[in-house]
Amino acid sequence: MFVRTVAWVSTLPRTIQQMLEHPPAVGSRLQVAGHVKSIRKFKNIGFLDLSDGSTYKTLPIVFRHPDQVLAQYDLKVGQSLEISGDLAESKGVQSFEVTFDPADDSHHLKIIGNVQDSYPIQKKETSLQFLRSIPILRHRTSTLASVLRLRSFLEHELNVFFAEHSFTKVTPPMITSSDCEGGGEQFTIEPLNPKEVVKDGMAVKHEFFGKPAYLTVSTQLHLEVLAPSLNRVWTLTPCFRAEDSNTNRHLSEFWMLEAEISYISQLSQLTRFTEVMIRHLTSQLSNNREDVLNSRYNKADRELIEVRWNSILAENDWPVITYDEAINLINQVKLKGRSKGRLAWGDSISTEDEKWLAGDHFHSPVFITDYPKSQKPFYMPHSKNYNISAPTVACFDLIFPFIGELIGGSLREDNYEVLVAEMNRRNMDLVEMDWYLSTRLNGSVPHGGFGMGLERLMLYLSGLENVRDVVTFPRAPETCDC
Amino acid sequence: MFVRTVAWVSTLPRTIQQMLEHPPAVGSRLQVAGHVKSIRKFKNIGFLDLSDGSTYKTLPIVFRHPDQVLAQYDLKVGQSLEISGDLAESKGVQSFEVTFDPADDSHHLKIIGNVQDSYPIQKKETSLQFLRSIPILRHRTSTLASVLRLRSFLEHELNVFFAEHSFTKVTPPMITSSDCEGGGEQFTIEPLNPKEVVKDGMAVKHEFFGKPAYLTVSTQLHLEVLAPSLNRVWTLTPCFRAEDSNTNRHLSEFWMLEAEISYISQLSQLTRFTEVMIRHLTSQLSNNREDVLNSRYNKADRELIEVRWNSILAENDWPVITYDEAINLINQVKLKGRSKGRLAWGDSISTEDEKWLAGDHFHSPVFITDYPKSQKPFYMPHSKNYNISAPTVACFDLIFPFIGELIGGSLREDNYEVLVAEMNRRNMDLVEMDWYLSTRLNGSVPHGGFGMGLERLMLYLSGLENVRDVVTFPRAPETCDC
C-alpha cells in the first residue's frame, strides 16, 4: 500500500455528520443548514428535525413559542433553512440539540429554499413505488439516500480491496465496434448531427467512427487485452443492453464490475477470489452498519438483512457444485416424486431453481461450475474433466438466495488454434475479432475473470427488491425521465 | 473513516511485485511467470528480463550455457514463460535474481505463449506514435503500462480524498433525454434492432425510451439534483462528445470527474477545494513515485515531471485573478508595445494565452474567475461585484501550464425566478428542463461544483503530450479499432 501524508485544509462548511461526530461544547453558538424532515409542536415547545444529507441522522432544533415561530416563518417540511442557536445537551436520539429562541436577537432562522404546497415527501411512510414516480425528489428520503451511501461505501471498499490484491483499475471503452457478445441487444450510437458525404453521386450519412459503433455490453474482451500488460485488472463501468423487458431485475444501463487475472489456470482460484471479495465487502459493511444503514429500516427489515449478511459471513466455505450435481439436486430433492418439470442434461437452470438451490437447499451462496458448453460463450476452455458426450466448460456462476446469479466467470481459452476452431464452429466473424485473437499469438498467458452486476449485489445486501431503487436515475424501456 | 478488519485469504499466485517487495530466502526454489522483455547473451552466461505486469520492474533470470538454452527453447522477446530456478543474490538493479540451470532436472523452463516473428515491441526505444498504431499490444511497454498504473493510482487517491471530505460517490446516468448542454455535439442512441410500430398506417421505428436519448456530455445537472439529498456528491464517469476534431487534446469518449457541494456560497470555497484536491493527489504521487513511475523516463523527462509537480506543490497558494485582470495582463505584459491581437472585454481567452498566463507569467496553476456572462452557461449566478455594463458570473477556470484549462466550475443559481428569467432570455425550452428547475422549488440550497477531465490531469502529471496515450483504447473520429 501507498505512503500517505496529510495535507492542505479546505474551507467547506461543517456538515451535520461532522458536528454529530465531534460535537461542539455545550452552550456554544452553532450555525446549521439543512432540510426540514419533520415538525412537531406541543403547547410550549416545538421541534424541527434538520437533515443536510451528510448522514441519515437528523439534528434536532428546539424552539419555544411554537405557535409564534411556525406562523412567523410559515415553516414546512421540505424547506431548507439556515438556523443559528445554542447547543444544548439532549436526552433524545442525538446527544445534543440546537435551541432557537425567537426573542434572542443573536439567534436567527432563515428559509433559504421554500417548498411548493405539493411537496410530496412528508413524515408519513411513503412507498418505494410512489417514490419511483418522483425521481427528482425521491433521494431526499432517508431510505433512498441511504441506498446511495451504501453504493458509495461498496465502491470505496472495492477500490481498497482490489488495490490490496495488486490489481490495476482500468477504464476500457464504452464505445466499441465489436458486436459479437451482444446477441443483437446492443445500442448503436451516431452523432446527433451526422455529416453527409457524397458516395456514388448520393448524399449519405458519414460514419463518425468509420464503422458502426455500439455501446458496450461487457468490457471483458478489452480487459483480456489489458490483463497481460498489468497482470490483474479490474473495472467498474456502465454497461448497456437494449433488452425490451420491464422487470424489477433489468435496466438498460447498469454498472458492472469486471476483473481479469493473469497466470491462473484453476477455476477454484477464481471462485475463491470472488468469495473472498464478497466476504470482505460484507464484513466491512457489517462493521460500519451504523454509518451506512439508515434508521428507516424497521426491525423486520433489519433482521432480514442480518440473516442475509450472516449467510455470507458463515464460517464454512461456500459450497461449490458442478452443473451436473445441480441438475441432480433439483431433480432428486426439489422435484422428488414428481415427474413433471424434471431437468435433462443440457437444460438451463432457471432463476427459480437457482434461488431454490441457494436459498432453500444450501441456505448459502453457492457456486455452480462446469456448465454445458452449448450454454456458454466461445472463449471458455473445456472443463478439467471434459467428457465428449456431455461437454462442459471451465466456468462458474455464483448463485445467491433471493437473487439468483450474482457473478459469472470462467477461465479463458488462451490457445489460438483452439479458439479459432471454436469460433469457426460457431460461424463467428474471425476478421472482426482479429484484434482479440491477436493476443493469443503474442505472448498469450493463462487467465480468467468474472463479472458482477453491482445493482444485484446491492439488492441482496440492502433487502430491497427493485433494481430501480438502487440506482440514481433508472433507464429502461419508456423510462428516461431527465 | 470506516472501521476495517482483515480477512479471508485468496489463492492467487504471487506476483513479481510481491516477490520484489518481500523476497524469498536466498537459495530457495522460485517459480515465476511473465513476458520476456529482453534477452542478453554473453559467452558463458545469458540474461532474461521477465515482466508479469504487476510492476514496471523486471525480474532477472540468469542462465549458463546461453547458446544451448537459446537454441533449445528458441527464446524471443515477447514470449510468455514459466520458469523455476533458484533464488540468488544479485548486484544488478534488483536485489535478487533467479538462476536457471538447464542441466538441473529440478529446474524447468516452459514457453506458455509464443510470439509471431513480427512481434513489434523490441528492446529498442519505440515511439509513442508508432505504439498508437498497435493498440492491442502497446500497453506491454513499460511506459504505457506505467501510465495505466498512474491512472489507477490517481483514481484510488481520489476515492480516499473525497471520502475524507464527506462526499458520497454517485453514478448519474450516461443515457439522458436532456440535450440542452451539448451544443449539438451529443451522440444519439437507439437499439441495434429497433421495434417497429404502426403510426397513422405507417410502420415507423419505435423509440425505445419513449423519446430521443443521448449520451451524456456532463453529469452536472443530475448531480445538482442529487446534491441536496447527500450534501456533497462526486462522480467519475465517461462523457461523450461527437466533436469532429482530430487533435492531441480531444477524445469522443473521456472521463470526467464532477462534484457538487451543497451549502456553499463563496467562489473561494470552490477554488480552494479544487486546489487542495490537486495538491493532495500530487503529493501522494510524489510520495509514491517509485511505485507509480517507470524506469523508462529518462533524466530529462524526470526533470520535466519534477518541475511540473513542484509548481503544484509550491508553498504559496495558487494565484486567483479575475477575467478582467487576466485580459489586462495579456494586453499589458504579453502584448506590451504591440497593437495587434489585443483583447477587448468580452473576448475569449485562447488556450495559447492561458498557457502564457500559467506557464510564462505565473509559473503556477492559476485560477481565473468571473468570466463574462455571455461566455458561460445559463445556470451561473451573477458575480459578487456584478457590473451591469460588463456583466460577469461567479465561475472559475483553473489554468495549468502546458495544458490550459484543467477544471471549470461555478456557483449555481439556486433561485427559481432568476433561473427561469435567464433561460427565457436564452430561448431555452423550459418544459424540457422542468425536472431540473423543480429542484429550485423544493427546498433549494446554495451550491456549486466543478468538472475536471481526468485525461488532462494525467497529461500534466505524466509529461505526455497526446491524450490518446493516457487512455486504454482511444475513441475519436475514424478511430474505434475494437
Q: Is the pLDDT of residue A163 over 90?
A: yes
- Specify the amino acid at residue A415: N
CATH class of the domain defined by A138-469? alpha beta
Test A2 with B287 for CB contact under 8 angstroms.
yes
Q: What is the pLDDT of residues B222-245, one digit of tens each?
A: 999 999 999 999 999 999 999 988
Q: What is the structure's pLDDT at A5?
A: 52
Touching B: A residues 313-342, CB under 8 Å:
none
Instruction: Quickly list H helices, A87-138.
Output: 128-132
Give the residue extent of every domain in chain B.
16-124, 138-469
Chain A nearest CA to B330, separation (Å):
30
Test B2 with A151 for CB contact under 8 angstroms.
no
- Name chain B contacts of A54, Cβ cutoff 8 Å: 166, 230-232
Q: What is the structure's pLDDT at A365?
A: 98
Q: What is the pLDDT of residues A439-456, one digit of tens each?
A: 999 999 999 999 999 999
Q: What is the structure's pLDDT at B93?
A: 80
Q: What is the structure's pLDDT at B1?
A: 44
- Which of A166, A207, A240, A416 is most worth mutating to test chain B (most B CB atoms within 10 A of its CB)? A166
Q: Name the strands in the sheet holding B214-215, side by side, starting at the edge strand that comes first in the sequence.
A: A175-176, A214-215, A187-191, B187-191, B214-215, B175-176
Q: Cβ(A136)–Cβ(B172) under 8 Å?
A: no
Q: What is the structure's pLDDT at B320?
A: 98
Touching B: A residues 40-59, CB under 8 Å:
52-54
Q: In angstroms, what CA-CA distances link A303 with A299, A300, A322, B64, B243? A: 6, 5, 32, 66, 52
Q: What is the pLDDT of residues A265-323, one digit of tens each?
A: 999 999 999 999 999 999 999 988 877 776 556 677 888 888 999 999 999 999 999 99
Q: Which residues touch B421 (CB under 8 Å, ≥6 apart)?
A: none
- Name chain A contacts of B137, Cβ cutoff 8 Å: 438, 442
Q: Cβ(A392)–Cβ(A383) under 8 Å?
A: yes
> Please, is B38 exposed, middle or buried when counting C-beta atoms within 10 Å of its C-beta (0-12, 13-18, 19+)?
middle
Q: What is the structure's pLDDT at B183?
A: 72
Chain B nearest CA to A343, separation (Å):
33
Which among A10, A155, A231 has CB closest to B15?
A: A231
Residue whose cell numbers read 497482470: A231
Touching A: B residues 441-470, CB under 8 Å:
441-446
* pLDDT band, very low/low/confident/very high, at A1 (cuts 50, 70, 90): very low
Output phi, psi for B374, to 5 deg: -65, -20
Q: Can you tell me the mean pLDDT for B461-470?
A: 94
CA nearest to A283 within chain B: B5
- Distance CA(A164)–CA(B362), nearest Å, equals 40
Which among A144, A435, A443 has CB closest to B481?
A: A435
CA nearest to B444 within chain A: A113
Q: What is the structure's pLDDT at B31?
A: 94
Instruction: Quickly list H helices, B208-255.
Output: 220-230
User: Within a 10 A sphere around the Cβ of A155, how many other Cβ atoms?
Assistant: 19
CA nearest to B479 within chain A: A209
Q: What is the structure's pLDDT at B81?
A: 97
CATH of domain B16-124: 2.40.50.140
How does A59-97 read in b/e, with b if 16+ C-beta sit within 10 Å? bbbbbeebeebbeeeebbbbbbbbbbbbbeeeeeebebb
DSSP single-letter state for residue A440:
G
The cell for A123 is: 413524515
Output phi, psi for B103, to 5 deg: -85, -10
Which among A2, A151, A442 has CB closest to B284?
A: A2
Chain B touched by A414 (CB under 8 Å): yes
Full-model pTM: 0.95
- Distance CA(A331)–CA(B468), nearest Å, equals 55
Q: Can you tell me the mean pLDDT for B405-412?
A: 98
Which among A113, A170, A479 has CB closest to B444?
A: A113
For chain A, the distance separating the N- and C-terminal CA atoms, rounded to the nearest angstrom, is 41
Chain B nearest CA to A234, separation (Å):
10
- Name chain B contacts of A178, Cβ cutoff 8 Å: 482
Q: Cβ(B441)–Cβ(B435) under 8 Å?
A: no
ipTM of the complex: 0.95
Pairing state between β B202-205 and B196-199: antiparallel
DSSP single-letter state for residue A347:
P
- Distance CA(A321)–CA(A373), nearest Å, equals 17
Chain A touched by B14 (CB under 8 Å): no
CA nearest to A442 within chain B: B115
- Distance CA(B61)–CA(A169), nearest Å, equals 29
Q: Which residues touch A304 (CB under 8 Å, ≥6 apart)?
A: A463
Q: What is the pLDDT of residues A320-363, one digit of tens each?
A: 999 999 999 999 999 999 988 899 999 999 999 999 999 999 99
Touching B: A residues 279-318, CB under 8 Å:
279-280, 283-284, 287-288, 291
Chain B touched by A252 (CB under 8 Å): yes
* pLDDT band, very low/low/confident/very high, at A181 (cuts 50, 70, 90): low
The cell for A237 is: 463501468
User: Within a 10 A sphere around the Cβ of A425, how many other Cβ atoms?
Assistant: 9
- Distance CA(A344)–CA(A335), nearest Å, equals 13
- Which of A189, A278, A281, A447 is most worth mutating to test chain B (most B CB atoms within 10 A of its CB)? A189
Beta strands in B299-403 (DSSP E): 320-322, 366-369, 395-400
Chain A touched by B352 (CB under 8 Å): no
Q: Can you tell me the mean pLDDT for B248-267?
A: 96
Test B441 with A481 for CB contact under 8 angstroms.
no
Quick one: residue A210, left, alpha or beta (phi over 0 = left, psi -120 to 50 = alpha)?
Answer: left
Q: What is the pLDDT of residues A58-68, one digit of tens each?
A: 999 999 999 99
Chain A touched by B153 (CB under 8 Å): yes
